[in-house]
C-alpha cells in the first residue's frame, strides 16, 4: 500500500507556525487507524475524503473532544487570570474574549481559540495564552499604540501608526497629548506625516494638529494657532525652511498667523486674526 498519503498527513501535522494544544497519546493511533481504514477499504473514495478535507475536520473535532475528556478527568480548576502588557484594553474585554469562568477545567481550555478571540480586540496586536498549573491562565498582550486622534465631524477616533482606527469606549490616559488629525482620509496618510515630522523633531512639541487638505497635502497647526501650509511636493524641504527661518528670525513667534509654502521657492505670510478661537479637542 502506498505511503504517500501518510507522508502528506505528517507534513500537515508539522506545518510551521501551527499552534495546537497538547494531545493525549492515544489520539494519533486512532487517527492513523482511521486513515488506514479509509485508504484500504475505500480506495479512491478514501483519497477523495482526504483531498476534500474530511480528515482535517475529523482531526479538529478529535482535538476538541480530547480537551473535553482530559478536562473532565483532571483536578486542575481555573482560579485566577493574570495579564501582562495591558494598558488600553479593558479587563472585562479580556475575560469575555477568553470565554472562561472560575472553576473551569484548566486543561479543557482551548488556548488557540482564546488567543484568536483576544487578537480580534481592536487594541490587541498579538496575544499569547498559557496555562500555569495548578490553577491559573496567564495572558501576554502586545497592544497597538495610538499616535493621533482623528476628528471626523463631531466624532473622535484613535488612530495607530498604520492608520488603522481603534475603537474605544473612552479616551485612554494621555490622549490629550496626542496629535489631532483633520480632513477626509487623513488616517491613511498618518504614516507619511510621522515620517515628515521626524525630519524636524524640534517642531514636534509645538505641534497641536495636522489637517489633510484636498487629498494631497498637509496644513500643520501649532499650539499657539500658527498654521504652516505645506506644499503637495517636497514637503520635507519646505518644513526645513520654516525651521531655519524660526531659528534665524523667530518667524513663528511673530505676528503672523499663516506661513504659506504651497508654491515652490515662495513664502507668503498672513497676519494673525484679531481673535483666534481655541482649537477644538476631544471630549
Question: Which of 137, 138, 132, 187 minimizes the C-alpha distance to 160?
Answer: 187
Q: Which residue has cell 515630522?
A: 197
Q: How confident is the model at residue 165 (pLDDT cuts 50, 70, 90)?
A: confident
- Tell me which of 95, 117, 143 is where a domain ends: 143
- The pLDDT value given to residue 10: 46
**What is the per-residue DSSP string for 206-244?**
GEEEEEEETTTEEEEEETTS-EEE--SS-HHHHHHHHHH
Residue 182 and residue 128 share a domain: no
- Tell me which of 73, 101, 128 is where a domain ends: 73
Residue 200 and residue 109 share a domain: no
Residues 228 and 221: their CA atoms lie apart, in Å, by 6
Q: State the pTM of this model.
A: 0.63
Number of domains in the chain: 3
Residue 251 and residue 207 share a domain: yes
On whether residue 68 sits in a domain, the answer given is yes
Question: Which of 223, 233, 152 minimizes the C-alpha distance to 188?
Answer: 152
- Tell me which of 143, 161, 188 is where a domain ends: 143
On whether residue 276 sits in a domain, the answer given is no
Average pLDDT over residues 248-269: 90
Average pLDDT over residues 128-146: 94
Burial of 228 (0-12, 13-18, 19+ CB in 10 A): buried
Average pLDDT over residues 131-146: 93
Domain of 117, in residue numbers = 80-143
Residue 216 and residue 262 share a domain: yes
Residue 202 and residue 114 share a domain: no
Q: What order do you get walking across the sheet with 124-132 strand by strand? A: 80-84, 136-143, 124-132
Residue 254 and residue 137 share a domain: no
With left for phi above 0 and alpha for psi between -120 and 50, is residue 112 left, alpha or beta? Answer: alpha
Residue 265 and residue 182 share a domain: yes
Residues 134 and 118: their CA atoms lie apart, in Å, by 23
HSE at residue 185, side-chain half, CA atoms within 13 A, is 8
**Alpha helices in 84-208, H assignment, sequence order:** 91-98, 111-119, 190-198
Average pLDDT over residues 11-17: 48
Amino acid at each position: 500500500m502506498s505511503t504517500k498519503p501518510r507522508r502528506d498527513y505528517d507534513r500537515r501535522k508539522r506545518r510551521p507556525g501551527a499552534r495546537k494544544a497538547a494531545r493525549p497519546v492515544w489520539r494519533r493511533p486512532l487517527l492513523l487507524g482511521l486513515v488506514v481504514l479509509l485508504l484500504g477499504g475505500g480506495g479512491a473514495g478514501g483519497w477523495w475524503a482526504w483531498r476534500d478535507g474530511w480528515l482535517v475536520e475529523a482531526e479538529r473535532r478529535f482535538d476538541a473532544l480530547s480537551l473535553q475528556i482530559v478536562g473532565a478527568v483532571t483536578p486542575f480548576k481555573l482560579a485566577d487570570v493574570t495579564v501582562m502588557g495591558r494598558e488600553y484594553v479593558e479587563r472585562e474585554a479580556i475575560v469575555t474574549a477568553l470565554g472562561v469562568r472560575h472553576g473551569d477545567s484548566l486543561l479543557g481550555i482551548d488556548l488557540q481559540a482564546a488567543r484568536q478571540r483576544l487578537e480580534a480586540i481592536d487594541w490587541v496586536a498579538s496575544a499569547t495564552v498559557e496555562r500555569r498549573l495548578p490553577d491559573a491562565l496567564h495572558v501576554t498582550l502586545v497592544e497597538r499604540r495610538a499616535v493621533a486622534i482623528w476628528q471626523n465631524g463631531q466624532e473622535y477616533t484613535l488612530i495607530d501608526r498604520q492608520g488603522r482606527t481603534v475603537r474605544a469606549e473612552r479616551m485612554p490616559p494621555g490622549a490629550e497629548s496626542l496629535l489631532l488629525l483633520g480632513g477626509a482620509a487623513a488616517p491613511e496618510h498618518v504614516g507619511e506625516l510621522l515620517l515628515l515630522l521626524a525630519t524636524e523633531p524640534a517642531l514636534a512639541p509645538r505641534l497641536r494638529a495636522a489637517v489633510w487638505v484636498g487629498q494631497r497635502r498637509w496644513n500643520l497647526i501649532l499650539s499657539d494657532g500658527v498654521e504652516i501650509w505645506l506644499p503637495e511636493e517636497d514637503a520635507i524641504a519646505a518644513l526645513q525652511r520654516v525651521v531655519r527661518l524660526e531659528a534665524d528670525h523667530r518667524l513663528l513667534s511673530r505676528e503672523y498667523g499663516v506661513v504659506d509654502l504651497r508654491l515652490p521657492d515662495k513664502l507668503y505670510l498672513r497676519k494673525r486674526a484679531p481673535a483666534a478661537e481655541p482649537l477644538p479637542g476631544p471630549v
